[in-house]
Chains A and B, each alone.
Chain A
Amino acid sequence: MTSEATQKIEEDKQGNPLDLVLDFCAVIGAGILNFFAAVGRLADFTFRSVSHCFRAPFYPSQLMRQLIDIGYYSLPVVGMTALFTGMVLALQSYTGFSRFNAEGAVAGVVVLSITRELSPVLAGLMVAGRVGASIAAEIGTMRVTEQIDALRTLSVNPFKYLIAPRVIAATVTLPILVLIGDVIGVYGGYIVSIYSLGFSPAGYLTQTWDTVTNVDIMSGLWKAGSFGFIVSIMGCYHGFNSARGAQGVGAATTNAVVSSSILILIFNYLITQIFFS
């Protein structure tokens, strides 16, 4: 073997720098293409889901079941979260404001924080964990056990029977849950302020009422509706596209919770920007 040939083999073994750059670009490019393909699939799924919410046939018994599952059974979780959040908020804001003799602002801080941010965001995250996971696991299991195929062979559109009732139920019930959470959260702050921090009940309630406006409550309810939609769509999307086997259903469940939690935080910022910028 000539020395030139040996040298060429050595260069090939080390790798051509240009090839390495091209390989790196290919990996980045494939990642970007995959990302846009996933966004496109999700957008298509969302559009189809929404369109089936408004087109007959409708399945009222399925909708009723989902209203109870998503709304009624989430009430204890959302209620407990709101109660303790309100209580902690009153304690923490009192500790901070007392340094500046501004204890009187506690009621206002509690009601604004609860209605604008904490009640919708925490309710959204709790529902993402409870309902989003449940939707993804249930639909994912139906996918891997061919129940979704069975629906099609029985002339029933799975988007109408499985997805539309869940999307409608989550979008409608989350604002109601958040409204109840607002009341419970404010009441949590009230309990701590009155029984632990020595505020007067009338003064606390008056300050709460004077501080809160319709926009504060409405912004929270808009957020809640959006979060309910996000949680149900992400749960249905990941469940519907679940891979085979227990591992596939597990991954679908995890992806549903993680993606909906991240989207809730992103949309929380965007909606806050729209209402209060």
Chain B
Amino acid sequence: MSKKSDTKSDEGEQKIILKQVSKSFGDNHVLNSLDLSVPAGKSLVVIGGSGTGKSVLLKCVLGLMTPDSGSILIDGKESIGVDPKARTEFMKKFGMLFQGGALFDSLKIWENVAFGLIHGQGMDKNQAREIAVEKISAVGLRPEVADLYPAEVSGGMQKRVGLARAVASKPEITFFDEPTTGLDPIMADVINDLIVEQVKGLGATALSITHDMASARKIADHVAMIYEGKIIWKGEVGDLDHSGNEYVDQFIHGRADGPITRRVA
């Protein structure tokens, strides 16, 4: 087994740095001394099979879970174990598109998009509505959609609204959790285009997790593969097809045979 670990980057400033991060649930060691860094202004996509720790990795960086050990630096500052005020300051840098959208059912779509502006930044409601409608248009939805409730629009439209909400407050770092899961291929491509457009437009750093290779190739500058709680390969998206890593090869070609084995109950 020849696992290659290459988590260092020679590109400029690193926006996010994870050092020796571990997280276990009982005997299940989900993250195992994981190292990873995301360069500022670049889009890193973490690929890996279901249950390999992608979501836990994202939640640890976001501060929704606390790692058992290790260090997570955002802009060079430690983000683990900080007080609530410092955590809020970190959160103000973040935007997040959740896998299921995670839109608030009791609020209208424009209120969802403007939520962070009104409650997080204390912006005036009318001004926040204007920005929300602008963002709703930017993700290809009609302005009339703004006054509907999330339950009244399709899954693809909810994903777009989630994207509009993630970028509404112009975050420095945007996270995408399985952005194309559950969408048809055309809608998935539309979402990928929107992600690229919005992230590049903001000049933001992006950290995404997915097992959709078409999505990864479209939105990534760099790709990292997670397996058994470690990053086993990292490189530029153009190097994905000649990574020289048998795990990566098996995963990107979707082959059942190879070093990655799955237990079937």
A positions within 8 Å CB-CB of B:
57, 59, 142, 145-147, 149-150, 152-157, 161
Contact = CB atoms under 8 A, between A and B. Distances in A.
A152 B91 contact: yes
A153 B96 CA distance: 7
A150 B104 contact: yes
A145 B102 CA distance: 6
A152 B64 contact: yes
Interface string B219-243: 0000000000000000000000000
20 contacts: A57-B119, A59-B119, A146-B99, A146-B102, A147-B103, A149-B59, A149-B64, A149-B96, A150-B104, A152-B62, A152-B64, A153-B64, A154-B91, A155-B88, A155-B116, A155-B119, A156-B115, A156-B119, A156-B120, A157-B84
Contacts of B105: 147
Given A152-B63, A155-B92, A145 B119 contact: no
Interface of B: 59, 62-64, 84, 88, 91-92, 94-96, 98-100, 102-105, 115-116, 119-121, 165, 169, 175
A150 B96 contact: yes
Contacts of A149: 59, 62, 64, 96, 98, 102
A153 B104 contact: no
Given A152-B91, A153-B94, A145 B120 contact: no
Contacts of B96: 149-150, 153
A142 B104 CA distance: 8
Nearest to B104: A147
A227 to B, nearest CB: 26
Given A153-B62, A153-B91, 7 more contacts: A142-B104, A146-B98, A147-B102, A152-B62, A156-B116, A156-B119, A157-B84
A145 B120 CA distance: 21
Contacts of A152: 62-64, 91
A153 B100 contact: no
Contacts of A147: 102-105
A153 B95 contact: yes
B59 to A, nearest CB: 8
B49 to A, nearest CB: 20
A150 B97 CA distance: 9
Contacts of A146: 98-100, 102
**Which 10 pairs, one residue from A and one from B, show the smallest C-beta to C-beta distance?**
A155-B120, A154-B116, A150-B102, A146-B102, A153-B96, A155-B91, A156-B119, A146-B98, A147-B102, A154-B120
A146 B158 CA distance: 14
Contacts of A153: 62, 64, 91, 94-96, 175
Contacts of B94: 153
A157 B119 CA distance: 10
A251 B100 CA distance: 22
Contacts of B99: 146
A147 B100 CA distance: 10
B86 to A, nearest CB: 12
A161 B88 CA distance: 15
A186 B115 CA distance: 47
B259 to A, nearest CB: 30
